[in-house]
Amino acid sequence: MKANLKNLHFKWIGGATWVLYYQGLRIACDPVLCNKGTLQDYGFFKSKRITGPKCVEDDFKGIDLWLITHAHHLDDAGLQKIEPDSKILTHKNAVKKLKSIAPLDLNKMRSGKTIFFQKGEIEIEVEAMPAVHGNNLISSKLAGGVNGYWININYQFEQISIYVTGDTVLNNRIRNHLKNKKVDILIPNMGGVLENRFGGPLTMNAAMLEEMSNLLKPSLIFPVHFNSFKHYSEPIEKLKKLKFKGLRLLEEGDSFAFSA
């Protein structure tokens, strides 16, 4: 089967939050929807939101699949946008928060676990991927566990693959896991978080994205997790210097779409 990106629509809400629509399938990720100026407490550091989320009510209506990478990427405002009958895949550290909305299809995922489901003619396979949220053992332990997700979507004679990195750096563990893989759409969490502190960066920077893109050869790259919060340390100018044909550097609230 071949990749067909027609009827694909991607919207970046801000932070790590985004929505993607493909052939009637609706996927959303990590709803952190606090207002501009909100101070988020991450345990071993705090950070202020410097741009507000850019979304409308309909963005989160009828979501078929929610991907929650870890508990830090789910706040009270975002939790209220998750409809209880959506399928939810999550790291174990966000399960307690999610149970407060009495979800009907909550799935705790660990690295290597795979889930299959179907919507009409669309077949979806999601594998939880490893993520390392820090550049040494101490910082990654303090930041806590994270999932990435690898999604394969089959529709009639078409197939697309999507890699959602979650909050991770690109180290040897991740390199080895990605060896010999190729992807159609890459959604990397950027920001080079706290890269000038001990144990940083906690997320990918432009140099890591360049290497990952050379490994995976994506057709489209939608960077997220930059600009929106103060702890996103790497200047946006470094991302803008990357020369990948498929790189789509959106602003919060912007969309990218292929039409049929």
Residue 35 CB burial class (10 angstroms; 0-12, 13-18, ≥19): exposed
Please give the average pLDDT of every successive group of 10 residues along the chain, which has 260 residues.
80 99 97 97 89 97 99 97 98 98 97 97 98 87 92 94 98 96 98 85 97 97 97 94 94 87
Q: What is the pLDDT of residue 2?
A: 58
Q: What is the pTM of this model?
A: 0.96
State the DSSP string of 42-75. -SS-EEEB-S-----GGGGTT-SEEEE--GGG--
What ranges make up the beta strands (E) of 131-251? Answer: 147-155, 158-164, 185-187, 220-221
- Residues 131, 110 contacting (CB under 8 angstroms): no
Residue 77 counted as domain residue = yes
Residue 259 counted as domain residue = no
Residue 134 counted as domain residue = yes
Tokens of 83: 């409809």
Residue 256 counted as domain residue = no
Residue 85 counted as domain residue = yes
Q: What is the pLDDT of residue 199?
A: 78
Parent domain of 120: 8-250
Q: What is the pLDDT of residue 200?
A: 80
Residue 200 counted as domain residue = yes
Residue 3 counted as domain residue = no
Q: What is the pLDDT of residue 111?
A: 97
Residue 70 counted as domain residue = yes
Of 186, 174, 94, 185, the C-alpha closest to 134 is 174
CATH of the domain at 74: 3.60.15.10
How many domains is the chain partitioned into structurally?
A: 1
Of 51, 44, 62, the C-alpha closest to 12 is 51
